[in-house]
Amino acid sequence: MDSLLIAIDYRDPAWIAIAFAFGLLCRQIKLPPMVGFLIAGFVLHLMGAQSGEFLRSIADLGVTLLLFTIGLKLRVSSLLTPEIWGTTTLHMGTTVVLTACLLMGLSVGGVLMFDGMNFSTALIVAFALSFSSTVFAVKTMEDRGAMTSRYGQIAIGVLVMQDIAAVLFLAFSSGKVPSPYALGLLALIPGRHLLWKLMELSGHKELLTVFGFVMALGGAALFEAVGMKGDLGALIFGVLLANHQKGSELAHTLMGFKDVFLVCFFLTIGLTGLPTWETAGAALILLLLVPFKTALFFKIFSFFKVRARASTLASLSLANYSEFGLIVAAIAISAGWLSNEWLTVIALTLSASFILAAPFNAFSDRIYNKYRHYLKKHEARTRLAGDEDISLKGNLILVFGMGRVGCAAYDQIDAMVDGQILGIDQDDREVARQLEGGRNVLRGDATNPEFWSRVEGDKSEIQLILLAMPNPRANRLAAEQLRALGYHGPIVATAKFQEDVEKLKEAGIDRVYNIYAEAGTGAANHMREFLKPDETLERRARSAGL
């Protein structure tokens, strides 16, 4: 107990409570709670607070769990596609060169802290600014239910490629060469079957949660032990478990822990350094590069044949700076290339990019719809695999979201409509599994206004649409898109919580089923088979005194 009291400063819980208050306030004005957490960090720093060991440790744990859960949802084959490795290479190279030239121009002009900066230092700072935040992008996409969407997979792929570049930089800059024992990590590839067996034996509750922590932290520790970056180890261990059928369940189990721990991460960003007029001015100049960074992402994505909407949303999710910039700044300061004030500059720039990017991501669909006709002019004529035109002809019912609920509904209705039913899911792997099972399924995103533009011919044959996606916001967005595009037929949706039912009905959905309540009703119907009707009526009569 004494060691726990030493580790946890009495102010740490109060700071987390303040973060909650600011997060709740931001949620009321339709902004992501992470904006409130960042603001809370700045407010606390202005009040004289400093980040303690407890907050930093929990923040590190949150980032480790985040990378592990990314690995659980990552498809390694997707990293080899041109729109990912090509975009990452072109964007980083262009950004580094142009940003370094700008910094040298500011140095020659004697502007603020840029005065006297040499070209090698400018390249290092430019390299740090070429990264986007994995934490911010993934958290934003999780809130939107877009982790398995086309743009979500593209953005995650770019972030992973950037992480690989970060690992290489850290290895070269620190002069730390991986141990020869690092070659032994290759044994993890065949050894993943043992990990799969352990995950199966862990069941579905607390033991599975503990297994997830052991894999994430153990993977990080193993990679650190052989001279590799620990975060990369957490990511790799997640990838090793990704193809198992319980991988998505494990990611869902760890989600709550990860979200809580990341609160401390956003707090520590705001607590990094107290700004001055000079550091704030330098941060503002660097912040002006974000629009250029975003536009460049969009242009390169479009060049690699990504549709306009996916290019827009992926670019907005990457329109920020990365916490990796703080690591680069620390390395440069320790080497004597930068003054200590640069750590504050990078922290301010990073935090401000988060705050500015949050509302743009929250309203990204509205932004795209407003400028849709202009953005589509940049679209390539040829399509990527999975983005081709599709036909709904011969189908009476559409089921969006082919998870457990969607599959059960599909199977029940299939015979009623003589096979004239089509399942639609945005996850490639799920679509492949459903096709192997004999179901008529294709890849598509119901929240994407471009989905219906891919549909050939008359859509009037559709008589009913079921929205069975696990994220209520995705179901709501899909309904709004359908109504806006002129679909007047019945829409049915599923929800987990009663508070989501009314919101879904307001979006134009005709009927909403609470899957937990329906499960209870279904159980009761099965129980009725075991009751003897005559005895039941007799007991009721006796209890009523008849």
Question: What amino acid occupies position 477?
Answer: L
Written as six digits, the tokens of 10 are 């009495």
**What's 403's DSSP letter?**
S
pLDDT at residue 7 in the model:
44
Model confidence over 7-34: pLDDT tens digits? 445 456 677 788 888 888 887 876 667 7
pLDDT at residue 524 in the model:
65
Model confidence over 452-485: pLDDT tens digits? 666 655 556 788 888 888 888 888 888 887 777 6
pLDDT at residue 2 in the model:
45
The CA-atom distances, in angstroms, between 12 and each of 263, 346, 378, 483, 516 are 12, 24, 49, 47, 37
pLDDT at residue 501 in the model:
82
pLDDT at residue 257 in the model:
79
Low-confidence residues of the chain, pLDDT below 50?
1-8, 10, 537, 546
Euclidean distance between CA atoms 155 and 7, whole angstroms? 37
Euclidean distance between CA atoms 144 and 317, whole angstroms? 11
pLDDT at residue 5 in the model:
39
Sequence-separated (6 or more) residues with CB below 8 Å from residue 143? 32, 473
For 50-79, b/e burial (b = at least 16 CB within 10 A) is ebbebbeebbbbbbbbbbbbbbbbbbeebb
Written as six digits, the tokens of 219 are 């993977």
Euclidean distance between CA atoms 353 and 325, whole angstroms? 12
The CA-atom distances, in angstroms, between 373 and each of 376, 387, 450, 479 are 5, 19, 12, 22
pLDDT at residue 8 in the model:
46
Residue by residue, what is the 3-state secondary structure of 258-304? HHHHHHHHHHHHHCCCCCCHHHHHHHHHHHCCHHHHHHHHHHHHHHC
Euclidean distance between CA atoms 398 and 537, whole angstroms? 43
Question: Other CB atoms closer than 10 Å to residue 104's CB: what's the count?
Answer: 18
pLDDT at residue 379 in the model:
83
pLDDT at residue 489 in the model:
84
- In 3-state terms the chain splits into helix, strand, coil percentages (rounded to 5) of 70, 5, 25
Written as six digits, the tokens of 414 are 């299939």
pTM: 0.68
pLDDT at residue 45 in the model:
76
pLDDT at residue 91 in the model:
94
